[in-house]
Structure 1
Amino acid sequence: MSTGDSMARVVSMLDWDGDLGPASLPDHEAERLRSRLGDGAIRWVAGAVEQALAALRGEIDDSLAPWPVIRAFAEHVLTSTVLGLAGDDTLPADTAAIDRDLAEDIVAREIPLSVITRALRTMQREWLSLLLAAALDVHPDGVSVIPDLATAVTETMDAWIGAATDAIVEERRRVYLAEQVRIRSAIESLVAAEPVDVDAATRLLRIPLSGWHLGCAIGAPPGVALERRAVDGIVYLFTRVVGSDRMLRYESSAGNVHVWVTTDRPPQAPRVEDLHVTAPVLVGIGEPHQGTAGFRRTFLEASDALRLAASLGDKGGVSYGDAALAIVLSQDEERARWFIEHELRELATDSPEMADMRNTLRIFFDTRMRIAPAAERLFLHRNTLINRLERIQAVLGHSVSERSAETQAALVLDILFAGRHDDPL
């Protein structure tokens, strides 16, 4: 007699001698077994499943375990295993056969995959022990099939462990994606100033919305692709410089990355140079603000600063605190040009001489109004720079330090509109 015939004989003689109590199989599983092996196999599978579940209960201390769902899964696996041993072409182990409720329970309670694998191996051990005992009762053919029996059961359970793992991973992915949708929705509601449940949003976003928030927007000039590694590096530096690991990241449909870092106390906003930004990446840094209104405000400030950086073509980016006036004024181009003319006076004239004066003044402000660094950057002798600054002050009608914020804003706006001097207003 061939090994296959001997295996089929062993399986055809399966029956359960003990008390089954209320144990029984679902109709669809029972019918699969009855049509191929008879009622004895139905009783044997029901009894073997109960024995395996009893062993599992002894190993698993889990009062919330969904035992009815686990039983149904075990019945399906063992029915398929037995029919496979009998020579039937059974369906392969597949994630579709894993009960969705079981996968949801495992993921919701964050049960490790190692626990699931151990539980399935316990079932395998119990069932294999029972099958080997049944084989030994079939003389003389049973002994010859024991190696093949052990191999077949192990391979079948390996396949089911793989299917269960895939189902759990897929469920985790589904839950993650659903959570990401909720997170995006919460962020978009906050920045749109829509009413939100602050406690629920705090739990979802995993940051205390009542705390202090500091925003950073990361982007690139139009038509330029961002390298994710470069963005990740800026995000890391931003959180490290601010000094908090409570961070939220949001990637917009426009291709910009927004980051919030949350702290218990007002944080110090980093400078653009602290983030080591390299072209073509640009950043906009907001100011720290508190609460849900602050979450929105720092986002808008960082976004406006990023837009200004992109318009100016600045290397690195712009901090809102350094360019707030220019950002606000740039929203209305006509009034912004009036402001430039009012603050810079003759310095706003579109001529090579005045353009050189404006550049000198920008460098002077960039170096925090220090003569030596500014002269070095301009390749001028310090006395030459001092004389030039005196001429600039004569044009402005006041000391450059007297209205420095307004003057710097006018210089920023001048760059912003430099290519549009001849445009009609």
Structure 2
Amino acid sequence: MTTTADPAQGWLLRLSPRGAPPEPACPPDTLAAAEAELGPGPVGWAVEVARDMAARIVRHVPEHGTPGALPPFRRAVEATVLTALRGLLTEPPPTAGLVPPEAVAGNAELARRNVPLDRVLRGVRLGHAHLHGRLMEALDREPEETRARETHRISELLFVYADVQASRLAEEYVAERDRWRRSTEAARRRTVDDLLAGHPLDPAAAARTLGYDLSRHHAAFILTSTTPDPDDRSLRRLAAELSRAAGGEHLLTVAAGGTELWAWTCWAAPPPRDALARLPRLVPERRPLRVAVGPVGHGPEGFRRSHRGAREADRMARLGRTGWLCDYADVGTAALLTADPEHARWFAAGVLGPLAVDDPRVADLRETLRVYLAEGRSPQGAAERLFIARNTVTYRVRRATQLLGHPLPPDSLDLRLALEITRLLGPPGGR
């Protein structure tokens, strides 16, 4: 049954579409409730205006019309116009309850699709302007006395309703965006954890959850900050920059704690051999941020292996022996040597004996001997690398040999490993 309106507002009940009204987007119960209050003519007018309003908003804010988003958006616009007409007729208090559920649901979808809030609110403003224009157009056909009374009332009420709607949708948008991010991030983290643990997974289902193709070639990054409360956006921006610099075709990021972000980039074909090696030249230093880079691997197992490599590179970086960006390719051997630090120190102490003591002068002897062996036992080569005199190299090697208690063996692998371990972890007695 149609509501009895104030005579000055009766023109609202005389609204009717210009032609045959389009197919409604709202469900039948919503339309029936509106017809009971307004009548079929105003409801048909509202459906027509909502169709034109939605088209106008999509022209100016295309994000509202992305494939799959238009039907709920049309429904939201239609419900909003119907609610506005009913409000103009009965003038209920301007509370958040005036915003129809369809508009809240459509707004939630925009939040889940990550349409920026300013674009969402621009749609509200455009819709308000369109509805105001169509109402003024209808009022122009009314007597002067009606126009004089209604023009100000309609403009004022529509402004209030639009303000209420914008405030409610902004609040709902932020809440839904946060809920969605938490839920999707949690699902992605669970999937990543299962992949890294080597648990059996359906690759297609995992790829859908992650939004990332696991069948490709992958390189993992672990990004950390030395500040206790870093800006998450700075970590994600750096991950995106690393992916672009490496020529990656897609990026996956997963939060791994307050100061750490895990990331992967991928390629359909094997990347150039220097794709990761060139990163320090292409990406400026970002301290206090630090990056560990894993080796390229293929498929789900390569996804896992690259992350493990990045984890080892990150461990080496935490030892303070690398720059702000540590590539596993540069520290793989050192990472292997120090995977069990306690065992590694025992080994080094057993090989080096007195040469392992924690003393600055002995440390110079160890480093000179390490470089001397790396240079094929060339005093001149060691002198050039260390920027010291050749005679100094000869003297230090002789003193180091005396501390070892035996001549340098022909096969110096154990000795070289022990010296490298001590360089990385410090002398066995020093910790």
Q: Residue 83 of structure 2 contacts residue 100 of structure 2 at CA under 8 Å; is this kept in 1?
A: no
In 2, the alpha carbon distance for the partners of 1:367 and 1:397 equals 14
2:294 counterpart residue number: 286
> Which of 305, 312, 316 is equivalent to 1:304?
312
1:145 counterpart residue number: 149
Does 50-59 or 159-168 show the bigger shift?
159-168
> Which of 71, 87, 90 is equivalent to 1:65?
71
1:262 counterpart residue number: 266
2:190 counterpart residue number: 185
SS of alignment partner, residue 141 of structure 2: helix
Shift in Å, 1:213: 1.5
State whether structure 2 residue 90 is matched by structure 1 residue 83. Answer: yes
Distance 1:229 1:285, change over 3 A: same
Shift in Å, 1:246: 2.1
Instruction: Write the mapping of 1:170-181 to structure 2, written as runs, cut at 5 A.
Output: 171-181=176-186
Q: Residue 50 of structure 2 contacts residue 77 of structure 2 at CA under 8 Å; is this kept in 1?
A: no
In 1, the alpha carbon distance for the partners of 2:341 and 2:113 equals 56
> Which of 320, 343, 361 is equivalent to 1:335?
343
SS of alignment partner, residue 145 of structure 1: helix
Shift in Å, 1:299: 1.0
1:384 counterpart residue number: 392
1:102 counterpart residue number: 106
1:10 counterpart residue number: 8
Shift in Å, 1:370: 9.7
- 2:261 aligned partner, one-letter code: V
> Which of 29, 44, 48 is equivalent to 1:54?
48
Percent sequence identity over aligned pairs: 21
Distance 1:90 1:278, change over 3 A: closer
In 2, the alpha carbon distance for the partners of 1:55 and 1:197 equals 47
State whether structure 2 residue 198 is matched by structure 1 residue 198. Answer: no
Does 192-201 or 310-319 show the bigger shift?
310-319
Distance 1:168 1:254, change over 3 A: closer
CA deviation digits over 1:10-67, x for unaligned, max 9? 1267543879999997787688x6xxxxxxxx33xx5223113124446767996356
Count, aligned residues: 395
In 1, the alpha carbon distance for the partners of 2:237 and 2:98 equals 41
Q: Residue 220 of structure 1 contacts residue 280 of structure 1 at CA under 8 Å; is this kept in 2?
A: yes
Shift in Å, 1:276: 5.3
Does 341-350 or 73-82 show the bigger shift?
341-350
Stretches of structure 1 lacking an aligned partner (at least 5 in a row)? 1-6, 34-41
Shift in Å, 1:253: 2.0
> Which of 124, 128, 138 is equivalent to 2:132?
124
SS of alignment partner, residue 306 of structure 1: helix
Does 368-377 or 275-284 show the bigger shift?
368-377
SS of alignment partner, residue 244 of structure 1: coil
Shift in Å, 1:265: 0.4
CA deviation digits over 1:179-202, x for unaligned, max 9? 323222222222122232322333
Normalised to the residue count of structure 1, the TM-score between the two structures is: 0.70
SS of alignment partner, residue 319 of structure 2: helix
* CA-atom RMSD in angstroms: 4.7
- 2:107 aligned partner, one-letter code: A
Distance 1:142 1:421, change over 3 A: same
CA deviation digits over 1:73-123, x for unaligned, max 9? 432221112223xxx544367657554443356567899746665555444
Q: Residue 241 of structure 1 contacts residue 270 of structure 1 at CA under 8 Å; is this kept in 2?
A: no
1:158 counterpart residue number: 162
- 2:222 aligned partner, one-letter code: A
1:238 counterpart residue number: 242
Rg larger in 1 or in 2? Answer: 1
CA deviation digits over 1:322-357, x for unaligned, max 9? 433443343434431243145546643445543212
In 2, the alpha carbon distance for the partners of 1:270 and 1:322 equals 9
Stretches of structure 2 lacking an aligned partner (at least 5 in a row)? 56-64
In 2, the alpha carbon distance for the partners of 1:233 and 1:387 equals 51
SS of alignment partner, residue 195 of structure 1: coil
Distance 1:319 1:106, change over 3 A: closer
In 1, the alpha carbon distance for the partners of 2:123 and 2:228 equals 47
Q: Residue 218 of structure 2 contacts residue 296 of structure 2 at CA under 8 Å; is this kept in 1?
A: yes
CA deviation digits over 1:240-293, x for unaligned, max 9? 442225222233126222222212204543278545546654443322211111
In 2, the alpha carbon distance for the partners of 1:25 and 1:337 equals 75
Distance 1:59 1:143, change over 3 A: closer
- 1:76 aligned partner, one-letter code: T
1:413 counterpart residue number: 421
- 1:11 aligned partner, one-letter code: Q
Shift in Å, 1:130: 3.2
2:58 counterpart residue number: none
Normalised to the residue count of structure 2, the TM-score between the two structures is: 0.70
CA deviation digits over 1:160-182, x for unaligned, max 9? 66257525565455444433232
Instruction: Write the mapping of 1:341-360 to structure 2, written as runs, cut at 5 A.
Output: 341=349, 344=352, 347-360=355-368
2:61 counterpart residue number: none
